[in-house]
Amino acid sequence: MSLTGTTSGGRRAWLSSRSGILKGGRLLVSLAVTMLGLLLITFLIGRVMPIDPVLAVVGERATKEVYEATRAAMGLDDPLYIQFWNYITEVLRGDFGMSLLTSRPVIEDIARVFPATLELATVATFLGVAIGVPAGVVAAVNQGRWPDHLVRLLGLFGYSMPVFWLGLMGLLVFYGKLDWVAGPGRLDVFFEDVVPQVTGVILIDSLLAGDTEVFANALSHIVLPASVLGYYSLAYVSRMTRSFMLEQLAQEYVTTARVKGLSEARVIWRHALGNVMVPLITVIALSYANLLEGSVLTEIVFAWPGIGFYITNALLAADMSAVLGGTVVVGIVFIGLNLLSDVLYRFVDPRAR
């Protein structure tokens, strides 16, 4: 009996281990295919863009001999499949080429500007989630009444108003007229390079350095652009939270909990919202990823030195190495956040493990 039980337990452990290995293998294959697709798309974009990378290097006055020699040196005379293979190997080594705009390796430029975008998107997501989730819950609980209509109206405005217009109006009112916040940029000029860069995120670095004056200045600069971006996150998160909560509030377990005498607050915020958290994690992760890649206009309006601002300037200067390098990094971040949401999904809901 004991031997049989031991054998059965060992077989279950082996099957569980085998299942975990297979799932891990499928995940790795999926990530590899997704990355390959991302690299293929960016490679093709670089080839179909109406910008000659050779002319961007040698200039329009270069002789034909110089042009042809530079083209050959850049590998553009090779067959496309060889160019694609070279592109993959370079990206895997972290080599995105040299930026024509800054004359530095693209990977160094991205490492310098990406923390600014990360900081802006993180604060915006925090604002959107902190307000959007409770707003969605209140709207669902008050379905058809004025709180529901108000939340849906605010969400509709969030989807309808162009981000550049909202940013310009925010600068005009809160910076130009009321002087409540600091203007464009990430810091005032005389605060730049005051604190040592540890993470690249000024709010964190200033706290690590114990410089509250720099922290206050950075906070004053980020409030307005983060609020503009956060409004779009709020609109999306509140709408999805409302939809998820309406579905949960119609379930039988909610009626049962109320019949048992549980308080309305416990039923809504503990039980119904608890079951909503699983799909809501995916929504928040996607919202965060969208802000990381979609903050271009906000960064331009507020002169925020992030990756969107960097890619835009590179595109205007026909700096395709910088454009493609930034695009690949944003795509990798998007893939990573999707993977993180899947891991958190399984962590929060044991049924998904």
Nearest partner of 92 among 28, 36, 34, judged by Cα: 36
What residues have CB less than 8 Å from 145, skipping those under 6 apart?
none
Q: What is the pLDDT of residue 7?
A: 58
Tokens 């609109």 -> residue? 235
Q: Which of 53-67, 135-149, 266-280 has the lowest mean pLDDT?
A: 53-67
Q: Which CATH class is domain 106-352?
A: mainly alpha
Q: What is the mean pLDDT of residues 116-142?
A: 92
What pLDDT, on the 0 to 100 scale, is given for residue 345?
67
Instruction: Summarize the confidence of residues 288-306 as an average pLDDT.
Output: 83
pLDDT digit string, tens, across residues 279-293: 888 888 888 888 876
Q: Which of 248, 256, 325, 295 is nearest to 93 (CA)?
A: 325
Q: State the pLDDT at residue 315.
A: 82
> 141-171 pLDDT, tens per residue?
998 899 899 999 988 888 788 888 888 899 9
The reported pLDDT for the residue numbered 196 is 86
For residue 10, what pLDDT is reported?
60
Residue 1: per-residue pLDDT:
47
| pLDDT (average), residues 117-131 | 91
**Who wins on pLDDT, 352 or 64?**
64
Question: Helix (H) and strand (E) counts for the chain?
Answer: 15, 0
- What's the mean per-residue pLDDT of the chain? 82
Q: What's the half-sphere exposure (Cβ side, CA atoms, 13 Å) at 99?
A: 22
Mean pLDDT computed over 342-349: 69
Q: What is the pTM of this model?
A: 0.81
Q: 9-18, 123-132, 230-239: lowest mean pLDDT where?
A: 9-18
Q: Using DSSP, state whether 105 is helix, strand or coil.
A: strand
Q: Are 140 and 267 in contact (CB under 8 A)?
A: no
φ, ψ dihedrals at 66, nearest 5°: -65, -40
pLDDT band at 352 (very low <50, low <70, confident <90, very high): low
Instruction: Return the structure tokens found at 36.
Output: 């390959």
Higher-pLDDT residue of 11 and 246 is: 246
Q: How far apart are CA 176 and CA 187, in angstroms?
A: 17
- For residue 100, is pLDDT > 50? yes
Higher pLDDT pick, 110 / 290: 110
* Residues 269, 137 contacting (CB under 8 angstroms): yes
